[in-house]
Structure 1
């Protein structure tokens, strides 16, 4: 392992669960620790549908990237809160359509930075930067972002399953900050955990906030997520459960049920 990656990994706190590492465990990854697996076990006792929810979310991300690249010609992707690398990442899907596609992953978890760098050493069209996704000015000032992202051309800004990590009123402000910077014809992809069941919302919010020592926002209601899209042109089929978004077959619609909490969102164009 390169020295810079060893330095980054030395910053990882293995005593506090990480949302990125918990998600990695749900997807069958190996970049997680005992504390993450213990948190998953406790969460599953009350909401056992979390693993299929993570799977649905990953499939949505892959469909979105493919549709934006194939049908809308997007060649630039800015993935906020990207998490740990797994199979069929954004750059793999996008570059499978056009090898010249450029991708920037943004995450504030040091283990994401270390593993991302190791994965992408030979790919000069894809980078991982360590930054708080709410720091839009800092992200766009980054040299690697400026090298790869051309703001005279459409960009797809991805916020896939991350807005529930942001306290109020952060999500709405973040969407405004990013859309003000993106050129017309760009796209914003947003989904987050929601529930109409107050007991579920409160339990998951409190559990994750305590487990991650404050690195969490809250589970919200669908109508709250709809406000993120104010002023944007929502693409068909509109906003809703993400496992219904542009599925390619009736069989695919039978993705795992996630009970009374699910990922809600969609894709919108910047006017």
Structure 2
């Protein structure tokens, strides 16, 4: 089930942040301009490639957790190019393989990502693809979303690699808006590129916007991302570098950790998973500063 849009013109000469991340993840949907730009950015700000791989690892672990959990609905806001699994399927199919009939909603702000996702969705699968100009919690009110998502039941919402979104969303409005709309017991998995040093944040934000001709968001401080999750119940590991996140909160086995080579990373993919409490949103979440 999809929206109807004319096919966008794919310009492979202009680097795209989603395709650059695709290259950093060692996947194949990218062009020479994306690969060159990705190498140049990593050379200037070490850690960007590792962060992209960490985001992919985080998404995979979250989806594996959902496949075994009692959350039978998935909404992915701002998703990138569909990631193939080791078994040859697609990332969201991890959940549907174990819980047949699980509805999935994929919301993209990038027209080429939307078209690619639409082309890969099986006609018989309960998957809705939507193209939106910006990310907002009000997407849950969209008629096509409501046609497959039951708002009275728990929902898992993925908000991964939000730095790719342009314009950069108001994260406080997005997270609190979702938390107040979602049924108790719903999960929110959030990750965002973050850098402790202000100079690094400004430098990478400027560089990526120049490289992609303005089709990128921004880098944020780790503390700003952590503030978004206050007042919600933690699931698994505490918020931090998502490369280390696990559903049981234990350190990943050595074989599952990302290798650390080269210069120390100046940026990380920061985030975590939280649950909407049955007692309502806690006061500290409402007081989180607007980002």
TM-score range, shorter-chain basis?
Answer: 0.7 to 0.9
Written as runs of structure 1 = structure 2, the 5 A alignment for 1:1-271 is 7-10=6-9, 12-70=10-68, 72-88=69-85, 89-137=90-138, 139-163=139-163, 165=165, 170-246=170-246, 249-252=252-255, 254-257=257-260, 259-271=265-277
Instruction: Check the 8 A contact 1:90/1:103 in 2, yes or no.
Output: no
Cα pair distance change 1:22/1:67, threshold 3 Å: same
Q: Distance in 1 between matches of 2:238 and 2:184?
A: 20
1:7-29 Cα distance to aligned partner (Å, 9 max, x none): 4133x444543221211222233
Secondary structure, aligned partner of 2:238: coil
In the alignment, structure 1 segments of 5+ residues that lack a partner are: none
Secondary structure, aligned partner of 1:9: coil
Q: Distance in 2 between matches of 1:25 and 1:212?
A: 15
Cα pair distance change 1:236/1:140, threshold 3 Å: closer
Q: Distance in 2 between matches of 1:142 and 1:121?
A: 21
Cα pair distance change 1:268/1:250, threshold 3 Å: same
Instruction: Check the 8 A contact 1:53/1:256 in 2, yes or no.
Output: no
Instruction: Check the 8 A contact 1:79/1:157 in 2, yes or no.
Output: yes
Secondary structure, aligned partner of 1:78: strand
1:160-185 Cα distance to aligned partner (Å, 9 max, x none): 11146466771111111222211111
Q: Distance in 1 between matches of 2:91 and 2:201?
A: 29
Q: Distance in 2 between matches of 1:215 and 1:230?
A: 30
- Whose helix fraction is larger, Structure 1's or Structure 2's? 1
Cα pair distance change 1:117/1:176, threshold 3 Å: same
Secondary structure, aligned partner of 2:208: helix
Instruction: Check the 8 A contact 1:164/1:219 in 2, yes or no.
Output: no
Instruction: Check the 8 A contact 2:160/2:192 in 1, yes or no.
Output: yes
1:190-229 Cα distance to aligned partner (Å, 9 max, x none): 1111122333222211111222333333222211111111
In the alignment, structure 2 segments of 5+ residues that lack a partner are: 278-291
Q: Distance in 2 between matches of 1:176 and 1:73?
A: 23
Q: Distance in 2 between matches of 1:252 and 1:184?
A: 35
Point out the more displaced range, 90-99 or 165-174: 165-174
Secondary structure, aligned partner of 2:93: helix
The residue number in structure 1 matching 2:289 is none
After TM superposition, the score normalised by the length of structure 1 is 0.87
Instruction: Check the 8 A contact 1:164/1:193 in 2, yes or no.
Output: no
Runs of at least 4 residues off by over 4 Å: 166-169
For residue 157 of structure 1, report the CA deviation from its aligned partner: 0.9
What is the aligned-residue RMSD (CA, Å)?
2.4
Secondary structure, aligned partner of 1:183: coil
The residue number in structure 1 matching 2:280 is none
Instruction: Check the 8 A contact 1:19/1:212 in 2, yes or no.
Output: yes
For residue 240 of structure 1, report the CA deviation from its aligned partner: 1.3
